[in-house]
Amino acid sequence: MVLPRSPALCAGLLLLTVGCRRPPEREVGGTNAKVPPDRLAETEIAPGVERAFDLPLPRGTRIDARFGQSVTASVPASAEALANFVRRNATAGEALVGPGGTVFPKVFVKGATDDHWLRVEIHSTGAETKLVVDRVDAKPPVPLGSTQEEIMKKAGLTPDGKLDPTKM
């Protein structure tokens, strides 16, 4: 092997060989198992770019229908993994779990405005899982230009809030 005679070239080659080492792998949980730090757990679902209102949808989700305040989608994951995905991305509160699926009656998405909430249904249909997301407004919209008296009249009440006998 022929070594270069220039000390600057020798120093450069030495720095190149020292700098080309791989960084040490990180140990997880005190065991000898080496796991890269950017991996999902085996049952964890990665978020995609699609959203149902404010709720992010899993990667690979196919939106089947959008009707006003409702979105229906097919998700390539198990119902249990999808329910855990909803819990991770929103404040789901109580869940109604049954043999047909899981229903979250009141879901607030993290980082979204509080003028609405979502009702989320998850049910498995054989090979794929169906997801139905309904948006529920916190306050029903008041028609613009309506006075309090007109609103009460439309609701079948007198201006003082009593039942209107002519509307019964």
DSSP letter for each residue of the chain: -PPPS-HHHHHHHHHHHHHTPPPPPPBSTTSS-B--TTPPPTTPPPEEEEEETTEEEETT-EEEEEETTEEEEEESS-HHHHHHHHHHHEE----EEETTEEEEEEEEETTS-SSEEEEEEEEEETTEEEEEEEEEESSPPPPTT--HHHHHHHTTB-TTSSBPGGG-
**Short-list 75, 71, 98, CA closest to 85:** 75
Q: Can you give the pLDDT at residue 6?
A: 77
Out of 14-18, 33-37, 103-107, 126-130, which region has the weakest mean confidence (pLDDT)?
A: 33-37
Q: What is the mean pLDDT of residues 64-75?
A: 92
Q: Tell whether the model's pLDDT for residue 1 goes beyond 60.
A: no
Cβ contact 58:75 at 8 Å: yes
Spatial CB neighbours of 59, under 8 Å, sequence gap ≥ 6 = 45, 46, 47, 48
**pLDDT confidence of 103, banded at 50, 70, 90?**
very high
Share of the chain above pLDDT 90, in %: 19
Q: How confident is the model at residue 132 (pLDDT cuts 50, 70, 90)?
A: very high
**What pLDDT does 71 receive?**
94
66: confidence class by pLDDT, cuts 50, 70, 90: very high
pLDDT at 25 over 60: no
pLDDT of 13 over the 60 cut: yes
Average pLDDT (32-42) is: 61
Q: What is the pLDDT of residue 20?
A: 60
